[in-house]
Each structure stands twice: as C-alpha cells, then as structure tokens.
Amino acid sequence: MIQKVSLSILLGQLITSTANTGGVLIQASTLKFKKSTPYGKPIEISFDDPTQDEASNLGWIGIYRDYGKYTMDEIPGRDDLSAWQNTWGGQDYLDPPVFSGTLTFSSKYPYSTNEDKFPYVSGNYRVCYINYNTESEVDKLIICKPLKVKAPKSKMIEKAKVKAPAKLKDDKRMSFKVKFKTPITVQNQWMGLYHAESDGGLPIDMNSVLTWVYTGCNNQEGNQSDESCVEEKKKGAVNFVLDQQLKKGSYRACVHFAINEPFDLFKCSEEIKVVTSPTESPSASPISLSPTDSPTESPSAYPTSLIPTVSPIFSPQCPIHEITMIDRQTSCSSYAYQNGFYRNRFREGCNKFVELDGNFDGCINHCNTCNESACRAACRNGCNYMICEGDEGRFGCNNPPPVAWETSDDIWFRPEALNPCPTPPVYKSITRESVMFDNNDTIFYQDGNCCKVINVPWKDPFTELCELCTFEHIFKGATSDLKCRAQHTGGYYEVYLKTVAKTSTDVTTSCPTSFWKNDGTFIKNGVNTYISKCSFNSCPDPTNTLSTSLITGL
C-alpha cells in the first residue's frame, strides 16, 4: 500500500525549479525544512544548489519575519532578518564555499542571531537561500520558502509552577531562591523579578524587570559565546542576588518562555511580601532627590544641539598625542577593511563623519540609505571607527598615525592594531541643570561606561540617560534637579534622579522616565523606573576631584 503524503507537506519539504540551458532541463536549488515548526524547537534547514560552479559565490541562509511586505522572489529588508548563517555554518568566513548541507538554527553554537534570539516568536517567517558574489559584490536570491512557527502549547504556561518565598525580611531582601517546575522547556528560558501591582496582583509591564536570570544556567551570561543559554531544566531553582535591599512592598517572580518582545509567555509566583525589621535604621532608606514622581511643568530651556566631542582626545597610555578627527580619518584611509567595495564603504563612513563635523547620527543615517545590509554595516563601522568608543580601540582608532595592523589574506578579515591604544572615556561639555542630546535613539557612552543600569537586561535611550544623569550628579557636581534628555522624532525622552542610595564603595540611583513634545509640553510618564549603579573604584574622574558634597556623608 502506498503511503499518502499531503501536498502541503510535500511543498513544505521541497521546492524544485528548473532552468532551460541549451534545451536541456536541469534541476536547480532546493530547500528542505518543516513548513510548520513547534515553538522553541531547533529548526533544521537542508539546502542544495547543484548549479553552483563559481568559487566567488558565498551562500547564506536567512530566516526573515514575514509581514507580507515582499513577494517570494524578493529579498526582505534587513530589519526583518531574525537570524542567518553562512552555508558552512555560523557567521564567520570559510574557504572554500559550501553549496550543499544542513544547518541548525537554535541558541547553540554556531552563532546565528541577528534581530531575534532563539526561540523565535510564533508567527509567519520565510527562509531564503541567498548568494553573495564577491566579484560583483551583490546579493542574489536563489530561493525563498514560507515557514510558520507555531504558537506554544497551552500547558507550557498552564502547567508551569513558580514557588517563591512568601515573605522576605532583613538579609533575605538581597539574596533569595525561587523554585520552578516547567513541563515544557525552551532554550533561553528565564526568570524575572517584578513589582506586583498595588493589590498584589500580576505585574502589568513585563519590560519593568528588577533583575533576571536564566533558569537553565542560573546566571545572566548563559553558556554560549553570545550569552545565550541552551541548557533546559524542567525543575530547579534560581538565585536572585541584588545590589541593594528590596524596599518594603509586594513583588512577583515570573518565569518567561520568550526571550524576544513582547514577553507575553510567562507564569508568575504568588505574591512576595517584603517587610522591614522594626529595628532597621531610617538612614538605610534612599534619599529623595525630587519632590514629585510625575513631572507636570515644562522643562527649563535647554541647548538644541550637542555634537559628540571626538577631537581632541588625549591618549595617556600611548605616545603623547592628541587624536583628532583628521588623525582618525588618515588612519581610516589606510585601514584594510574587508574587500574592495566594503572597504570603500567603510572609508565613506569615516569621511562622512568628518564632513558632518562629528555628527554621529547624521553619519549613521547616511549609511542606512544603502539597500543592502552588509553595505550599510560597513559604512556604519566607519562611523564607529571615528567616534572610537569602548572596544573599537582594538582597531587602532585611538592610535596616532601611521598605525600598524595585523595582515591576512582573508577577504572578510577586519585587522586589529598590533599595539592598540586604549580608548579613554569621551565626556561632553554640557550644562548641569539641563542636559540635552541630539542623538536619535542611539546608544551613548558619555558616562565612561562606569555607571550601569542594573535592573533590566537591555539598553535604550532611557537606560543610557539614567547612567549619564547619575554620572553627572555624582562625579561632575550637577545639582540634584538635573534632567537628562534625548531627542527623537516629535519630541524627547527625559529622566531625572528620584533617589540615591549610597555605600562606601558605590552609589545607586533610581530614574523615573517621561515623554515630552518638542515645545516642552508633557506627554506622559514612562512605564519603567531604571536603577543605575556607579562604582567609585571603576569610575574615572575627569576633573580629578570627585564632586560628592551634594550627598551627605559620602
């Protein structure tokens, strides 16, 4: 008896096309995978392109979110690319190229994350086999097929159990265990701690997490190079360790089965009540720095534009030299970034940064006009080279020219400087009482990377503003009514310092958030209050004199 196979399964497993070559029909490229895949299960994709005979073609497989904006013979936009791998696995260069094989997309090595971590949100996707030609420097679509990630089974959440302490007191307010039992598990499963609602009910905003930890790895670092956690545990416990005591109130611990927004797959514990000891000293409570939680007045006048300060920057641990924008542009023009086209795009980013007099956002916006993702990335890397912050220094952007770099025959190689000069913190010259940025939703590091928001696992303009506001107040003498703002389309974000908690080694602040129109009209408060911590040992003091007199006893 012949086994029946549905047409949809056949189409989901194999697409075969033919090409007419001199009157002879030949089989072309194929993609094989399950058309509909269970939520949280690794995705195996097999591919074959028997027509390939050019070593200059480098193939890669991309998984795109499919919102119906593109036909199946179009390459979707870069922002829709959830994950990708080269055909030989991972995202590193390999020679010779591979035209047939099987890739697995999950949180496990080799690395495949782009816009989304695994597991991918349930919904419609497409899998595309694409060739990049190193000679023409163009992406060519070979084949695309639809993929559906199914919604998780209801028992994933219904049968899950989270057991937390019913009451926390004294030393337990900084470190405690939460047990969990989840019959269905996924990679990157995590547990978050939240404020409960005023009636002890479930938290409304799942972005407002106080701290979090992977359930499988019991840490925030995971067990993979990209800080993912592939370990899956159906039963166990996690340790919540906080930098400061939880305030008196109600909390909930929630296990999450989604690592990507909207974080809507979760199960929470019963209410956790935090109580204070009758003998606890009142001085242990945070000091209020603001008279109100909800700003209702228009902010005071503020500067309309602040250009990032990148010239000059002193490099104390290298030969004494002031690194100017022109110095960096000179180094950029000699930097062997990847191959011809992308090297030119990299240098285009450097030159545009100088042309715009150090306007980083303008440089990024220029780069993003290219319709191909690698083209945009190469140019943006030129902008990053010119701003020269953090880890970028390993490429020699803070070295006086001429710079000596590593050499390689790999066309995708990005050489590092043989003797890189460290990148010192970049500080802005700004007013204390009113701070404004002209950086549209970008990440900025004017706090020298020493103040860190500790209650959420992400970065956004609000977290960066909280870090900067804290740094300005603690280390540069800004008054306690300091407001820090970042402009966006139609208005700006704002944070202010509400509280400060201090120890002999560090200072921790809380920053409420709000939205404003460009004319200074208050729109609404943000849903999150961020907590930033600065360590006296790790924070450099640009003035060599800590301005700590604003906090009694510091």
CATH of the domain at 64: 2.60.40
Helix (H, G, I), strand (E, B) or coil at 496: strand
What average pLDDT does range 390-398 have in this prediction?
A: 82
Looking from the CA of 439 toward its CB, the CA atoms found within 13 Å total: 24
Residues 121 and 216 in one domain: no
Residues 406 and 506 in one domain: no
Task: Tell whether the model's pLDDT for residue 514 goes beyond 80.
Answer: yes
Structural domain contains residue 456: yes
Q: What is the pLDDT of residue 129?
A: 93
Residue 449's pLDDT band (boundaries 50, 70, 90)? low
Task: Tell whether the model's pLDDT for residue 533 goes beyond 90.
Answer: no
Q: What is the pLDDT of residue 495?
A: 86
Q: What is the pLDDT of residue 318?
A: 64
Structural domain contains residue 163: yes
CA distance 147 to 80: 14
Q: What is the pLDDT of residue 542?
A: 43
Entry pTM? 0.49
Residue 51's pLDDT band (boundaries 50, 70, 90)? low
* Closest by CA position to 428, among listed 300, 299, 303, 289: 303
Structural domain contains residue 32: yes
Residue 525's pLDDT band (boundaries 50, 70, 90)? confident
| Count of all residues that appear for the chain in the document | 554
Query: For residue 515, which amino acid is it?
Result: F
Q: Which of 401, 425, 449 is the last residue of a domain?
A: 425
CA distance 484 to 464: 10
Residue 47's pLDDT band (boundaries 50, 70, 90)? very high
Task: Tell whether the model's pLDDT for residue 13 goes beyond 60.
Answer: no
Q: What is the DSSP string of 157-190?
A: HHT-EEE--SEEEGGGGTEEEEEEE-SS--TT-E
What secondary structure letter does DSSP report for 10? H
Q: What interhelical angle do 340-355 and 360-367 show, nearest 10?
A: 150
Among 151-155, 190-194, 230-234, 510-514, which stretch is predicted with the lowest mean pLDDT? 510-514
Contacts (Cβ under 8 Å, ≥6 apart) of 283: none
Highest mean pLDDT of the ranges 6-10, 82-86, 169-173, 485-489: 82-86
Residues 36 and 91 in one domain: yes
Contacts (Cβ under 8 Å, ≥6 apart) of 377: none
CA distance 79 to 76: 8
What average pLDDT does range 19-28 have in this prediction?
A: 37
What average pLDDT does range 229-247 have in this prediction?
A: 89
Q: Which of 380, 399, 425 is the last residue of a domain?
A: 425
Residues 19 and 117 in one domain: yes
Residues 433 and 448 in one domain: yes
Q: What is the pLDDT of residue 56?
A: 64
CA distance 545 to 532: 21
Q: What is the pLDDT of residue 172?
A: 78
Condensed to tens digits (0 to 9), the pLDDT of residues 410-438 reads 777 788 898 888 764 332 322 333 344 33
Q: What is the pLDDT of residue 314?
A: 34
CA distance 484 to 13: 54
Q: What is the pLDDT of residue 61?
A: 94
Task: Tell whether the model's pLDDT for residue 295 goes beyond 80.
Answer: no
Q: What is the pLDDT of residue 124?
A: 96
What secondary structure letter does DSSP report for 466? H
Helix (H, G, I), strand (E, B) or coil at 461: helix
Q: What is the mean pLDDT of the chain?
A: 75
Residue 387 structure tokens: 């701003």
Structural domain contains residue 2: no
Q: What is the pLDDT of residue 292?
A: 26
Condensed to tens digits (0 to 9), the pLDDT of residues 323-382 reads 777 888 999 999 999 877 888 899 999 999 888 877 887 888 899 888 777 788 889 999
Contacts (Cβ under 8 Å, ≥6 apart) of 44: 33, 34, 102, 103, 104, 105
Residue 19's pLDDT band (boundaries 50, 70, 90)? very low
Q: Which of 407, 425, 443 is the last residue of a domain?
A: 425
With DSSP H G I counted as helix, E B as strand and the rest as coil, what are the percentages for the chain, rounded to 5?
Answer: 15, 30, 55
Residue 321's pLDDT band (boundaries 50, 70, 90)? very low
* Closest by CA position to 194, among listed 260, 251, 137, 274: 251
Residues 166 and 141 in one domain: no
Condensed to tens digits (0 to 9), the pLDDT of residues 67-124 reads 999 999 999 988 899 999 999 888 876 666 788 899 999 999 888 988 889 999 999 9
Q: What is the pLDDT of residue 5?
A: 34
Q: What is the pLDDT of residue 199?
A: 67
Residues 414 and 494 in one domain: no
Residues 175 and 276 in one domain: yes
Among 3-17, 180-194, 212-226, which stretch is predicted with the lowest mean pLDDT? 3-17
Q: What is the CATH number of the domain that holds 258?
A: 2.60.40.2550
Q: What is the pLDDT of residue 528?
A: 74
Residues 269 and 185 in one domain: yes
Residues 298 and 348 in one domain: no
Residues 470 and 553 in one domain: yes
User: Range of 390's domain?
Assistant: 307-425
Q: What is the pLDDT of residue 146?
A: 96
Answer with the residue of higher pLDDT: 257 or 171: 257
Task: Tell whether the model's pLDDT for residue 444 goes beyond 70.
Answer: no
Structural domain contains residue 541: yes
* Look-up of token digits 């670092």: 221
CA distance 38 to 264: 17
Query: For residue 46, which amino acid is it?
Result: S
Structural domain contains residue 390: yes
CA distance 453 to 102: 40
Structural domain contains residue 1: no
Count up the domains in the chain and report the number: 4
Residues 360 and 462 in one domain: no
Among 22-26, 123-127, 168-172, which stretch is predicted with the lowest mean pLDDT? 22-26
What average pLDDT does range 130-156 have in this prediction?
A: 89
Task: Tell whether the model's pLDDT for residue 243 goes beyond 90.
Answer: no
Residue 320's pLDDT band (boundaries 50, 70, 90)? very low
